[in-house]
Chain A
């Protein structure tokens, strides 16, 4: 188990859990929460957050992020959604749908606004991009070059769980996120996908 996450001091500042009225204070509050969420997820290598877990199940890893038992304060779900929306505009989060990755945009708008629409459409899961798919793609590309895998074919399973990638940044990466990264490479013409759903293979150029 990794060492406990060192929370910043704001995390134990009671007003941090109340949506601020003053616009510039609110902006500062949103960006502080945003960077807190990102660094927390980076520390725990969390790629997506379930909002219901984060607010309601005390056993989840992500629970302490929005709940500070020491000062008996917790962040309201609707405000979390607003933070996520703020991060999404920054390119650091995305509402994720279990079916189609492309539909995130539209649902994200609904989820950030009030929460009711997001709930209905399953806006519970959020990608947290402490590295964006583009950044992951860059890492992947560099790894391919360094390890001489250019022209080779690797499966997604190999990339995330395989012995060859152990120790690299993306070992243990969420498969869906990896696929997003690969899509980026495909668009750039640096890779090509092959094979079926279960056994997706990637050929790097």
Chain B
């Protein structure tokens, strides 16, 4: 089966694999299999990760949530949407039964000449892996010559993290003057930072223009129902920089030299623009290159009813290029490799090659070499970052991460006293799957971000490894949680208090296992859903009953066998691990319910088991209420209400 049922976390999100990265989230997505809608999967959230695409159903998340592994995807296509039909992304599974010849033919048709120079790693995969969307290794980064203002491409093998003063730099193509290193570095970094932050995509093409797609495809497939374009029927290609209309077969602009929009999108689209309605008619018009998709009943479509499809497609393309799942079985990747990737360094393919070879060197020598390499890499990252302020901005995340890991090492050497801090630092890295505003689809607005944040929080709270809630005795005040959460995020992507509170308010609605509780005094606390007032009172009473059995530390004048002893909020806080504020509130809640009574004395406010109201007061209520109830009952019986 292409679509597999998946396990969800406590917060109803897909549980991720160890080194899986969340790339994008979008709500209001429906699923199709073949050309038919899947009846139970029409409204949910789609999580794009580095390994999978997960669909989590909104109504019945535990029942209908599915995922498909990207490694099983043969091809994927984009449909921009037309009139009432929403934009869709189609994923076509690998058909192992099919002969490679059959596989190849469509691939050949769809891949433009450029696909010939795909990375060596790619070629090894064989025919089955041939993907039409392999981006070219040509770097899209350009640097503008300071002498003649000509835009030169940054060499594809230029690695900002590894570049130093001795890196050979090609001279300007127009005037022949060599650029300074920082100049090129800046250009490379700014190019990397404008791309999606998490996808270490090699060369994400310039912004996709779905409209252009139809214009490109129309000459090839006249039977398509794609929207007809009134202008530019000659399929010329506008340069994104200087707007010169180039011939479609050109790879870079004739005038300014900027590389043109990647050709893979149009070719894909040439196959994809099905009307996606249930009517089978237009389907047959689809061109020959898509027999796989046409025949296979298992091709899956994601219909984006509230936008987000473009970013989704971009990132999907990025991770299909990276193919992180290949590393899934490899030993844990050293940190440096990740920072490489996150940097979006051009030529990461080259750097990932030695990565894969590394495990071959075993033993202490291997470890030593690894550490050495890592140290060297850290040195480079730091060196680069401080060379230029802009470069520092661009690599802020890595520097923060580095500083954190250094701090951890220092603390680790100092002793075990900082276990909590270590835990936090640890959890910062575990929070790699955090939801940030740029992961979440922009069109969904704040609500999607908030609901994702609510789920992240719920996971953070219920995670057994961290045991945040457990350590706080099952109750933690919202402010404490906010502080802890932001500390765990390590100072980046902080959550504003307003967003935090809004997200906390969503727990109830999203049916997450934690709930926000507001005490009488207005104090907001967070606790597990299973934890009710009754269970709290039960725990308090059980403890108080114990106090009848165990003699108090010092002599007390009253009969402790009979009454036990009074407890202060501090005692309770110590006993149950709550904060004092929470303990006070819980005690007052129990008093409110008549289970405890208070004693104000020179030692402060103490709470006792209620031996004052031993039942006689229960009937008190007040007579007016009772009378009203009685009247109501009688009225009901006589049929007036």
Which chain A residues have a beta carbon within 8 Å of chain B's beta carbons? 9-10, 12-18, 20-25, 27-29, 31-32, 70-73
Contacts and interface: CB of A to CB of B under 8 A. Distances in A.
The 5 closest A-B pairs by CB, nearest first: A28-B617, A28-B613, A15-B599, A25-B613, A71-B557
20 contacts: A10-B611, A12-B559, A13-B558, A13-B611, A15-B611, A18-B597, A18-B600, A18-B601, A20-B597, A20-B612, A24-B594, A24-B621, A25-B591, A25-B610, A25-B617, A29-B613, A31-B617, A71-B558, A72-B557, A73-B601
A150 B612 CA distance: 48
B97 interface: no
A28 B612 contact: yes
Contacts of A72: 557
A13 B617 contact: no
Contacts of A70: 557-558
A87 B608 CA distance: 26
A185 to B, nearest CB: 33
Contacts of B608: 13-15
A22 B558 contact: no
A18 B594 CA distance: 15
A25 B597 contact: yes
B420 interface: no
A14 to B, nearest CB: 5
A24 B599 contact: no
Contacts of B594: 22, 24-25
Interface string B539-565: 000000000000000000111001100
A45 B20 CA distance: 86
A20 B613 CA distance: 10
Contacts of A22: 591-592, 594, 597, 613
Contact of A15 (B562, B612, B618): B612
B640 interface: no
Contacts of A24: 594, 613, 617-618, 620-621
Nearest to B602: A72
Contact of B562 (A9, A18, A23, A27): A9
Contacts of A12: 557-559
B589 to A, nearest CB: 11
B563 A13 contact: yes
B618 A14 contact: no
Contact of A29 (B601, B612, B618): B612
Contacts of B473: none
A157 B621 CA distance: 47
A18 B613 contact: no
For A12, A28, A32, which residue has the most chain B Cβ atoms within 10 angstroms?
A: A28
A8 to B, nearest CB: 10
Contacts of A14: 558, 563, 566, 599, 601, 606, 608
B125 interface: no
